[in-house]
Amino acid sequence: MSAGPRRIELAPGYILHHRPWRDTSRILEVLTREHGRLTLFARGVRAPAAKLAPVLQPFQLLLLSWSGRGEAPQLTRAERATAAAPLPGGCLMAAFYLNELLLRLTTRHDPQPLLFDHYHGVLERLRAGAALEPALRIFEKRLLTLVGYGLDLSSEARHGAPLEPDGFYDFRPGQGLVPVSARTPGALSGRSLLALNDESLSGARELADARQVLQAALGACLEGRPLATRAVAKSMLRKAVHS
């Protein structure tokens, strides 16, 4: 006797991406706390009188219900978990960038409750007016750790010696941090790396070095495949400069 369709009720989740399907429906990519990342079919939500259309928005914590067999069950219900304010406009591109990272670096149906909590937390901090750059860098660091690509930011790779705050280092994917001269192009400050390790980034040098090492680490994880959100952000910046 075959098992009936699986039913999940009111699971906390976020919409990471959606695309049209047929005339009135959408395919949703969602991140849920207890069931990981999965695909849901949302039927009829693009119809003129669709009640769920205003609910199915990114960056809003939702309670999602679905039913069905296979890899892509059908959404049966959705409601907002809380009456959260929209993200500030200046944070939207960064938030879409986080969504793209989650889509590219997580595995379907692999529950990651701690990662879900980190994602929820960074959205709440941005909504409350937190500084954008430190919030992004800390999320990137935590994401790398939770998907199995964590950085050792406390010791150098050759001999395992503790990082020196006054030292300088080069990050080599697959190897780690290697001591270099302060005059080496792109040398990373030991003080910056220790601040990233402690999640206490503040100054411009610390933020720049954190961005450099994390982009290198993420680039290695992505195997050189570009991120669409970075390309869009660069295009917007070029247009702003030349306008």
Quick: pLDDT tens for 48-57.
888 898 899 9
Chosen domain end from 57, 80, 103: 80
Note whether 187 and 133 are same-domain residues: yes
Per-residue pLDDT at 233: 67
- Taking residues 108-129, report their average pLDDT: 96
At a CB cut-off of 8 Å and minimum separation 6, what does 161 contact? 155
177, pLDDT greater than 90: yes
* Inter-CA distances, 82 with 63, 108, 242, Å: 9, 26, 41
Instruction: Give domain status of residue 67, yes or no.
Output: yes
Note whether 44 and 10 are same-domain residues: yes
Radius of gyration of the chain (CA): 21
169, pLDDT greater than 70: yes
Note whether 56 and 122 are same-domain residues: no
Note whether 36 and 95 are same-domain residues: no
Note whether 32 and 150 are same-domain residues: no
Chosen domain end from 80, 113, 136: 80
Contact 169, 188 (CB under 8 A): yes
Residue 12 CB coordination number (10 Å): 18
Instruction: Give domain status of residue 12, yes or no.
Output: yes
Chosen domain end from 29, 53, 80: 80
The CATH number covering residue 24 comes to 2.40.50.140
Instruction: Give domain status of residue 16, yes or no.
Output: yes
Instruction: Give domain status of residue 200, yes or no.
Output: yes
Contact 30, 61 (CB under 8 A): no
User: Sign of torsion, CA 7 12 18 20?
Assistant: positive
Instruction: Give domain status of residue 20, yes or no.
Output: yes
Q: How confident is the model at residue 2 (pLDDT cuts 50, 70, 90)?
A: very low
Going by their DSSP bridges, the two strands 62-68 and 74-80 should be labelled as antiparallel
Count structural domains, the chain: 2
- Taking residues 10-36, report their average pLDDT: 95
Note whether 65 and 119 are same-domain residues: no
- Taking residues 235-243, report their average pLDDT: 53
Return the minimum-mean-pLDDT range out of 66-75, 133-142, 166-175: 66-75
pLDDT digits (tens, 9 = 90+) for 69-85: 878 899 999 999 998 88
Note whether 184 and 221 are same-domain residues: yes
Place of tokens 């959404």: 75
Note whether 137 and 154 are same-domain residues: yes
Supply the range of the domain harboring residue 21. 6-80
Residue 149 CB coordination number (10 Å): 14
Counts for the chain of helices (H) and strands (E), in that order: 6, 8
For the chain, percent of residues with pLDDT exceeding 70: 93
Instruction: Give domain status of residue 214, yes or no.
Output: yes
d(CA 184, CA 149): 26
Note whether 67 and 164 are same-domain residues: no
d(CA 226, CA 147): 19
Note whether 74 and 156 are same-domain residues: no
- Taking residues 110-135, report their average pLDDT: 97
Contact 221, 144 (CB under 8 A): yes
Q: How confident is the model at residue 1 (pLDDT cuts 50, 70, 90)?
A: very low
Per-residue pLDDT at 49: 82
pTM: 0.92
Instruction: Give domain status of residue 182, yes or no.
Output: yes
For the chain, percent of residues with pLDDT exceeding 90: 80
Closest CA to 40 of 59, 61, 14: 14
Instruction: Give domain status of residue 1, yes or no.
Output: no
Q: How confident is the model at residue 47 (pLDDT cuts 50, 70, 90)?
A: confident
225, pLDDT greater than 70: yes
The CATH number covering residue 117 comes to 1.20.1440.120
Note whether 34 and 124 are same-domain residues: no
